[in-house]
């Protein structure tokens, strides 16, 4: 009884000192379930559907040939655009150090992944350069992947891929051709070929725009023996 009362007092004080906000719309959260989730239910119910794999394949064909497409299925939590609340959430974990938002959205993405029959053997996050990781304190794709793993029972290999060059932020690189050029030959695969041989990999990233980054990583994993590479991202843009 006393313990319960203490918990209620502590919760009320925390609410006063540090009120919780929805990671999408930034509204204050009052409902206990919403506070635990870090988002309001209405925001999740109203998340616009992400473009599907066929749509993404057509986009990739604008830049590369069918033979060079290394991604099989792509699963997006939602469509990404600057005008939508998801932009704020992604901005928070990329530039404001709020890694928990990446984990939270990863959990939601994990729920969506369970609707597909991917049979993935590993989850591998798209890497960022070590210097950028030091600066940010974490790799946001890895935090998303951890969120996915909290829902699906698939081993995470955080350091399977390495980024060897520090490149300008893709969000400031406007042309599609420049993005493909930017990421060519900047990734390495760590580990022996036997590790990936005949395995289904689920590659995780934050936003899918041109597909240059994820397709490059997927291609490397296929070269190292992976049987199939699927991709899971928080947001997929409607335009590249």
Give a three-class secondary structure readout of the chain: CHHHHHHHHHHHHHHHHCCCECCCCCCECCCHHHHHHCCCHHHHHCCCCCCCHHHHHHHHHCCCCHHHCCCCCEEEEEEECCCCHHHHHHHHHHHCCCHHHHHHHHHHHHHHHCCCCCCCCEEEECCCCHHHHHHHCCCHHHHHHHHHHCCCCCCECCCCEEECCCCCCHHHCCCHHHHHHHHCCCEEECCCHHHHCCCEEEEEEEEECCCHHHHHHHHHHHHCCCCEEEEEEEEEECCC
Please tell me whether residue 22 binds Zn ion under the rule CB under 5 A: yes
Mark the segment that binds Zn ion (CB under 5 A) among 38-46, 112-120, 161-169, 188-196.
38-46
How far is 128 from 102, CA to CA, in rounded Å? 15
Please tell me whether residue 24 binds Zn ion under the rule CB under 5 A: yes
**Interacting residue with Zn ion among 34, 37, 38, 40 (CB under 5 A):** 40
Torsion of CA 195, 181, 49, 40, to 10 degrees: 80
| Shortest distance (Å) from residue 21 CB to Zn ion | 8
Mark the segment that binds Zn ion (CB under 5 A) among 21-29, 52-60, 142-150, 207-215.
21-29
| Shortest distance (Å) from residue 92 CB to Zn ion | 13
Angle at 222 between CA 216 and CA 226, to 5 degrees: 135
Matching residue, tokens 């890497």: 127
47 vs 221, beta carbon nearer Zn ion? 47
**Interacting residue with Zn ion among 35, 38, 43, 60 (CB under 5 A):** 43
Please tell me whether residue 44 binds Zn ion under the rule CB under 5 A: no
| Shortest distance (Å) from residue 141 CB to Zn ion | 23
**Interacting residue with Zn ion among 20, 21, 25, 112 (CB under 5 A):** 25
Please tell me whether residue 69 binds Zn ion under the rule CB under 5 A: no
228's tokens: 């199939």
| Shortest distance (Å) from residue 48 CB to Zn ion | 14
| Shortest distance (Å) from residue 22 CB to Zn ion | 3
Mark the segment that binds Zn ion (CB under 5 A) among 1-9, 24-32, 211-219, 230-238.
24-32
x/- mask, Zn ion, residues 194-213, rule CB under 5 A, reads --------------------
Residues in contact with Zn ion, total (CB under 5 A)? 5
Please tell me whether residue 105 binds Zn ion under the rule CB under 5 A: no
108 vs 123, beta carbon nearer Zn ion? 108
- What residues make contact with Zn ion under the rule CB under 5 A? 22, 24-25, 40, 43
């Amino acid at each position: 009884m006393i313990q319960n009362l203490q918990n209620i007092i502590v919760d009320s004080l925390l609410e006063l000192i540090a009120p919780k906000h929805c990671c999408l719309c930034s509204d204050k959260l009052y409902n206990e379930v919403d506070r635990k989730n870090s988002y309001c239910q209405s925001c999740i119910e109203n998340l616009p559907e992400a473009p599907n794999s066929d749509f993404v394949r057509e986009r990739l064909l604008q830049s590369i040939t069918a033979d060079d497409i290394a991604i099989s299925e792509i699963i997006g939590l939602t469509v990404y655009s600057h005008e939508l609340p998801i932009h704020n959430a992604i901005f928070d974990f990329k530039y404001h150090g709020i890694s928990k938002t990446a984990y939270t959205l990863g959990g939601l993405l994990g729920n969506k992944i369970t609707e597909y029959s991917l049979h993935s053997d590993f989850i591998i996050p798209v890497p960022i350069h070590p210097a950028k990781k030091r600066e940010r304190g974490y790799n946001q794709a890895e935090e998303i992947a951890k969120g996915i793993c909290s829902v699906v029972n698939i081993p995470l290999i955080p350091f399977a891929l390495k980024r060897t060059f520090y490149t300008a932020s893709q969000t400031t690189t406007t042309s599609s051709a420049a993005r493909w050029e930017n990421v060519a030959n900047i990734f390495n695969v760590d580990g022996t070929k036997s590790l990936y041989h005949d395995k289904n990999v689920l590659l995780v990233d934050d936003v899918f725009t041109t597909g240059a980054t994820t397709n490059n990583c997927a291609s490397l994993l296929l070269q190292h023996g992976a049987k199939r590479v699927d991709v899971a991202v928080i947001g997929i843009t409607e335009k590249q």
